[in-house]
Amino acid sequence: MEGLLEEVKEFEPRIIELRRRVHQHPELAYHEVETGRLVANVLKSLGVEVRTGVGGTGVLGVLKGTSPGRVVALRADMDALPVEEMVNLPFKSKVKGVMHACGHDSHVSMLLGAAMLLSKRRRDLRGTVKFLFQPAEEHGGRGGAKPMIEDGVMEDPRVDYVFGLHISNRVKSGAFGLRGGAAMAAPDAFKITVIGRGGHGSAPHETVDPIFVAAQVIVALQGISSRMIDPVKPFVISVCSIHSGTKSNIIPDEAVLEGTIRTLDEATRRKAVAKVREVAETVARAFGASCDIEFIEDPYPITFNDVRVTREVAEVLRKIDGMKVVEMDPILGGEDFSRFLQKAPGTFYYLGTRNKTKGCVYPNHSSKFKVDEDVLKYGSVSLASLALEFARR
């Protein structure tokens, strides 16, 4: 690890340039073709073995050390969000309605920076490092981690440790955020279709009004968190959209509700899903309606960081001059990096980018999200450090 901070200065302009290039040309989930091509070309220029088309549009890079050791995987996600950028930067998104509002452009550039450092330090590297450039983290359904795993990225050779890094405006620049155990939630998405009987708005008694019933369902669902789930268990249920009707004097036949459940342990998750079904069906039936309830298939698991490994990661990161390590509270957002953690021990950690003087204060997914580019070199050094350290264990 010694000297990495000095060495990264050579690559810092390139890391920033790559981040800006990806930022200008964002691509949505499963469409990261140009981003993947850029990644592959950079890796090849560093002498890294490259496989493209992994899990769809993903890229796998493999760097073998000069002596036997462990296999360490490092992951960066590549997809952007359907958000119109509202920040006037010289490298503002050139794609209308699409923006890297979650920092995945930074993740790509930081992992490429780590590859630059490790390829230069190949003589010091034991074992093997796998660079996982993943598509479709923002998809929320099948995602991109699962297709990459199905394509064998965690095998041949089998991964011993896996690490992921995420930019966060919850943490101030100059700090890494870590948490052992349950760090991010399982995001279960649901769709409830309330089925009534339509008619004229002047004669509601001749109908079964699905909008009225849907309103009762929404109110009743909030009773799950306040009265049916242990209050010391982190849990959120939100109905985020309701669609119904076509005209002011027509009571429609259906109303559709869509929302999300967020939990940090499997028992609470199972109970919450069951209660959503029970409450929605019971309320609808009480008013003469019925409902169809769908949950997204195979949602992202809880992101569970190996406690021992996370503690050891903190020790490594504390050695990076100019940086500190802070303990994070759990986050009820979801992450399909959780799927990699089901295949190998590791941790998902954060790099702070909150900097008021630079206007980096808006949260991830905001149209005004900005990244403090001065921290990118620390992200690259942290990933390279973890690879060097854990590969020799």
Q: Find, among 126, 134, 10, 163, the residue nearest to 61 by Cα.
A: 134
Catalytic entry in 85, 138, 373, 389 = 373
Q: Find, among 226, 353, 202, 197, the residue nearest to 287 by Cα.
A: 197
Residue ranges of the alpha helices (H) in 260-333? 266-286, 307-317
**Do 284 and 217 meet the contact criterion of CB atoms below 8 Å apart?**
yes
Catalytic entry in 300, 349, 350, 378 = 300
Q: Find, among 140, 142, 151, 279, the residue nearest to 217 by Cα.
A: 279
Could you tell me which residues come within 8 angstroms of residue 59 by beta carbon, excluding any fewer than 6 positions away?
36, 39, 40, 43, 50, 51, 52, 131, 133
Burial profile 50-71: b = 16 or more Cβ within 10 angstroms, e = fewer: bebebbbbbbbbbbbbeeebbb
Is residue 10 part of the annotated active site? The answer reads: no
Contacts 24+ apart (CB under 8 A), 46-53: 46/115, 46/116, 46/119, 47/119, 47/122, 48/115, 48/119, 48/131
**Do 303 and 162 meet the contact criterion of CB atoms below 8 Å apart?**
no
Q: Is 102 exposed, middle or buried (0-12, 13-18, 19+ CB in 10 A)?
A: buried
Q: Which residue matches tokens 């992101």? A: 303
**Do 175 and 146 meet the contact criterion of CB atoms below 8 Å apart?**
no
Q: Tell me which amino acid residue 48 is.
A: V
Could you tell me which residues come within 8 angstroms of residue 219 by beta carbon, excluding any fewer than 6 positions away?
none
Please give the structure tokens belonging to residue 14: 């390139």
**Do 169 and 353 meet the contact criterion of CB atoms below 8 Å apart?**
yes
N-terminal to C-terminal alpha carbon distance within the chain: 14
Is residue 350 part of the annotated active site? The answer reads: no
Q: Which residues are catalytic?
A: 300, 373
